[in-house]
Amino acid sequence: MDKRDHCCSTHLIEGDGTFNVAGVDNFVKEIKLAECGLSYAVVAIMGPQSSGKSTLLNHLFGTNFREMDALRGRSQTTKGIWMAHCVGIEPCTLVMDLEGSDGRERGEDDTAFEKQSALFALAVSDIVLINMWCHDIGREQAANKPLLKTVFQVMMRLFSPRRTTLMFIIRDKTRTPLENLEPILREDIQKIWDSVPKPEAHKETPLSEFFNVEVVALSSYEEKEEQFKEQVANLRQRFFHSIAPGGLAGDRRGVVPASGFSFSAQQIWKVIKENKDLDLPAHKVMVASVRCEEIANVMFSSFVENEAWRQLQEIVQLQHVPGFGKKLTFILDACLSEYDTEATYFDEGVRSSKRKQLKEKLLQLIQPAHQSMLGHICSGTLNRFKEVFDSTLNEGKGFAVAARDCTTYFMAQFDEASADAQIGQTNWDSSKVREKLKQDIDAHIAVVRAAKLSDLTTLFEKKLNESLAAPVEALLDGASDDTWPAIRKLLHSETEAAISGFSSAISGFEIDDITKDKMLVRLEDYARGVVVAKAKEEAGRVLNRMKDRFSMIFSHDADSMPRVWTGREDIRAITKTARSASLKLLSVLAALRLDDDADPIETTLSLALVDPRSGAASSRGISADPLASSSWDEVPLSKTLLTPVQCKTLWRQFTDQTEYIVRQAITAQEASRKNNNWLPHPWFILALVVVGLDDFMWCLRNPLYLGVLFILFLLGRAFWVQLDMTGVFQNGILPEILALMTRFLPTVMNLLRRLAEEGQRPANADPQQNPTTANTLRSTTNDYSEISSSASSEVTTSENGTEYSSPSSSRKVQ
């Protein structure tokens, strides 16, 4: 197997100058270089081609660099730069085998790669071994002189922050002791150093400031192998703990952390290839910046993929997660700690700045989850507040106290929960969410408060309605002098009771005095409003009420028994009483009297409607009709239920619509009288008196006389009816006798004509169409014409919106 395929070595830079990125990365992973931090050393070897460099390294570090086969002659075996991991040396030591200088393969003039690789070795290594033949010491044309010159020249382009160890390995040492050779060598080195042109800043800088020069002599491997191996074994000891102070790689300034080695070497080679000066301190910062960025990105990705975080993120979308803050703090801490560990050896400024950026990125990532968590806390707290608040109110606790206690308790609960959700690495402020929760709680309290107060108000209004509406209706229906005092008393007592109950019911709300007074006044107004509404309602149907009352009184006796019209009743007196009672109803409902103020309405109505011929009304005359007005004296419009004009119209409708009842009663009374009258007709009695019983009997015996008497009776009766004698004599006897004389002749003529017509009509003609009969009935009822009014009524709308129906459409009282 090719020894170069061994896993612990790699071709770092190929012969054509290509940096083997993938190979180096694999190599670094293989030897776990990244875990070494700063505890590693890099050794490089330079020297003429085929000078036994690979042989020395393999014996010194246990590597497996390809060595030239001695039998095949001296030719180039190492091309470019190789790197291997030293076996069994602590700390981790990397060794680079450089292509030999002054090689025939590249030609005499091609020294570019030689310079580049020398500069690379100086920039990357802690120890540079310079392999040289013993016989070259002191020689003017020594093979190592151009190499040393190159090393010193390129050193000027390297802003090195540390001293590199230059270890000269003298191969094939002779019998001349090293003590004699070393000064000659150092003198040679100094000469070369002095001959190298330096920049102004380093004109006087001694070689020792840049290099720690060491000299080691080895016997020939080919001729004295045993001695060679022994000397190499001794030399190997010097590479143990080489990074300790005073060791070969003791100056650790500017060392790139092991995890950045690959990148650093790559960048250095890139700069060298571009033939630029190499600013190692700036390079170190650049490497730190790139590597810390890389580490931060890896940490961020691993956080995103972290199973614990993913679960937490998923659950918190749906529900409250107990211990959210602690869990997330732990995951974040682990992530940042890992970053710290990885980036610990890089430049502190760069490291901190990249850590800050990583933390910001992580916090940005987790913030939505934290917000969700606060949202759950907020909504959960609000919901529990609502439940507890409701149950506290149901337990009977005062509203204001319950609201205060619950608010304090649940705000504290929120504070506790939000502290639990707080992430250690942040100082996120939850005050806005807290403020929002407080607003939500206050809004809920306000809504519940308004609802409770509304319920209470409705309850007490309902109670007032129940305790006032029906009793007031009953009181108004029973209209009497005591109606309004009774209503006032009822209103007062019920209002007092409601206010007292309402006051104690709202005491727990801790309402300020002004608002409370307003609420009580509203309740008081409501009670008054119930009475006013009921009074208006009753006023609107006063006509029916009046008719009902009239009908009730007219049709029932003092014992509330239905009347039977026998003829002995005084219909006039009964009618008057019933009308007075109805008028009382009208006067009671004409105005609101809730403030104990007397008014003249009843007197005015009585004088104007029941007894218009007496009192003030008649004395003032027709033009001073007290009801011809739309307002009452001493009664404001606000308290007027029925205006005088409306009362007058209502009264007219009332009398019209009740006239029928009176007529019926009169008819019934007449019929009853007729049925019960057993005396002879007055004419008969008069005839008896005038002609005496004998003559009367004679008349009865003589049919002719009887016929004449009958004709005379019929004529007399006809005259009586035609001349309307009953009505006539009501106006006085003398004037009517004169009037009769003027009407007598036309009446006789009319009578004769009608008798002639009667004689021609069929015997079974309709008796109802007989005007004589009708006139007879009219004359009978004429006595009561003054009671009823013939005024026709019309549809009238009162001020309070009540429609008064015309007699034709209104319901007749039966």
Ligand X SMILES: Nc1nc2c(ncn2[C@@H]2O[C@H](COP(=O)(O)OP(=O)(O)OP(=O)(O)O)[C@@H](O)[C@H]2O)c(=O)[nH]1
Which residues make up each annotated binding site? Answer: 47-54
Residues between 99 and 138 that touch ligand X (CB under 6 A):
100
Q: Could you say which of 54, 165, 262, 653 contacts ligand X (CB under 6 A)?
A: 54
Q: Return the number of the residue (36 or 81) whose C-beta is nearest ligand X.
A: 81
Here's the x/- map for ligand X, 154-193, by CB under 6 A: it reads as -----------------xx---------------------
| Shortest spacing between CB 51 and ligand X, in angstroms | 4
| Shortest spacing between CB 171 and ligand X, in angstroms | 5
Q: Return the number of the residue (70 or 624) whose C-beta is nearest ligand X.
A: 70
Q: Return the number of the residue (129 or 453) whose C-beta is nearest ligand X.
A: 129
| Shortest spacing between CB 71 and ligand X, in angstroms | 8
Q: Could you say which of 9, 20, 55, 242 contacts ligand X (CB under 6 A)?
A: 55
Say whether the peptide bond before residue 91 is cis (omega within 30 degrees of 0). yes
Among positive and negative, which fits the CA dihedral 723, 726, 727, 728? positive
DSSP 3-state of 84:
strand
Q: Which residue has the tokens 């007032």?
A: 464
Q: Could you say which of 30, 187, 222, 633 contacts ligand X (CB under 6 A)?
A: 222
Q: What is the distance between the alpha carbons of residues 151 and 208, in angstroms, rounded to a whole number?
A: 14
Residues between 742 and 801 that touch ligand X (CB under 6 A):
none
Are 161 and 123 within 8 A, CB to CB? no
Q: Return the number of the residue (52 or 247) whose C-beta is nearest ligand X.
A: 52
Are 47 and 100 within 8 A, CB to CB? yes
Q: Could you say which of 10, 49, 262, 264 contacts ligand X (CB under 6 A)?
A: 49
Q: Which stretch binds ligand X (CB under 6 A): 217-225, 382-390, 493-501, 613-621?
A: 217-225
DSSP label of 109: S
Distances (CA, A) of 414 to 52, 324, 384, 442, 689: 78, 14, 11, 15, 122
For 373, counting Cβ atoms within 10 Å of its Cβ (0-12 exposed, 13-18 middle, 19+ buried), the class is: buried
Q: Return the number of the residue (217 or 292) whose C-beta is nearest ligand X.
A: 217
Residue 248 one-letter amino acid? L
Q: Return the number of the residue (52 or 91) whose C-beta is nearest ligand X.
A: 52
Q: Return the number of the residue (70 or 112) whose C-beta is nearest ligand X.
A: 70
Spell out the SS3 assignment of 402-471: HHHHHHHHHHHHHHHHHHHHCCCCCCCCCHHHHHHHHHHHHHHHHHHHHHHHHHHHHHHHHHHHHHHHHH
Q: Return the number of the residue (145 or 171) whose C-beta is nearest ligand X.
A: 171
Q: Could you say which of 19, 42, 53, 652 contacts ligand X (CB under 6 A)?
A: 53
Q: Return the number of the residue (221 or 339) whose C-beta is nearest ligand X.
A: 221
Tally the C-alpha atoms within 13 A of residue 299's C-alpha that lie toward its C-beta: 28
Are 40 and 258 within 8 A, CB to CB? yes
Q: What is the distance between the alpha carbons of residues 401 and 393, in angstroms, rounded to a whole number?
A: 10
Residues between 230 and 289 that touch ligand X (CB under 6 A):
none
Q: Could you say which of 9, 51, 242, 640 contacts ligand X (CB under 6 A)?
A: 51
| Shortest spacing between CB 88 and ligand X, in angstroms | 21
| Shortest spacing between CB 138 and ligand X, in angstroms | 19
Q: What is the distance between the alpha carbons of residues 129 and 116, in angstroms, rounded to a whole number?
A: 17
- Please choose, from the candidates 467, 281, 463, 257, the residue with its C-alpha nearest in 3D space to the C-alpha of residue 346: 257
Here's the x/- map for ligand X, 59-98, by CB under 6 A: it reads as --------xx-x-----xxx--------------------
Give the pair of three-digit tokens for residue 307: 């199973």
Rg (CA), the chain: 68
Within a 10 A sphere around the Cβ of 350, how many other Cβ atoms? 20
| Shortest spacing between CB 247 and ligand X, in angstroms | 26
Bridge partners of residue 42, in order along the sequence: 94
| Shortest spacing between CB 109 and ligand X, in angstroms | 19
227 binds ligand X per the rule CB under 6 A: no
List, as residue ranges, the binding site for GTP: 47-54
Q: Return the number of the residue (43 or 608) whose C-beta is nearest ligand X.
A: 43
**CA 287 and chain centroid, separation:** 53
Q: Return the number of the residue (106 or 320) whose C-beta is nearest ligand X.
A: 106
Distances (CA, A) of 356 to 19, 106, 247, 331, 347: 33, 50, 37, 17, 14
| Shortest spacing between CB 72 and ligand X, in angstroms | 8
Q: Which residue has the tokens 């000027």?
A: 156
Q: What's the order of all strands across the beta sheet hosting 164-171?
A: 9-13, 81-85, 92-98, 40-46, 127-133, 164-171, 211-217
| Shortest spacing between CB 65 and ligand X, in angstroms | 7
Q: Count residues contacting ligand X (CB under 6 A)? A: 19
Spell out the SS3 assignment of 262-322: HHHHHHHHHHHHCCCCECHHHHHHHHHHHHHHHHHHHHHHHHHHCHHHHHHHHHHHHCCCC
Q: Return the number of the residue (116 or 658) whose C-beta is nearest ligand X.
A: 116
Strands 803-804 and 92-98, bridge-based pairing: unpaired
Q: Could you say which of 10, 12, 44, 52 contacts ligand X (CB under 6 A)?
A: 52
| Shortest spacing between CB 2 and ligand X, in angstroms | 15
| Shortest spacing between CB 248 and ligand X, in angstroms | 21
Q: Could you say which of 39, 111, 220, 788 contacts ligand X (CB under 6 A)?
A: 220
221 binds ligand X per the rule CB under 6 A: yes
Q: Return the number of the residue (58 or 242) whose C-beta is nearest ligand X.
A: 58
Distances (CA, A) of 544 to 86, 348, 540, 688: 127, 105, 9, 54
| Shortest spacing between CB 238 and ligand X, in angstroms | 19
| Shortest spacing between CB 15 and ligand X, in angstroms | 12
Q: Could you say which of 9, 10, 20, 50 contacts ligand X (CB under 6 A)?
A: 50
Q: What is the distance between the alpha carbons of residues 358 and 336, in angstroms, rounded to a whole number?
A: 8
467 binds ligand X per the rule CB under 6 A: no
Residue 256 one-letter amino acid? V
Please, which residues have CB within 8 angstroms of residue 754's CB and are 6 or more apart in sequence?
A: none
Q: Return the number of the residue (216 or 321) whose C-beta is nearest ligand X.
A: 216
Q: What is the distance between the alpha carbons of residues 538 and 533, in angstroms, rounded to a whole number?
A: 9
| Shortest spacing between CB 292 and ligand X, in angstroms | 38
| Shortest spacing between CB 100 and ligand X, in angstroms | 3
Q: Return the number of the residue (222 or 482) whose C-beta is nearest ligand X.
A: 222
**CA 583 and chain centroid, separation:** 63
- Please choose, from the candidates 586, 631, 339, the residue with its C-alpha nearest in 3D space to the C-alpha of residue 479: 586
Residues at the interface with ligand X (CB under 6 A)? 49-55, 67-68, 70, 76-78, 100, 171-172, 220-222
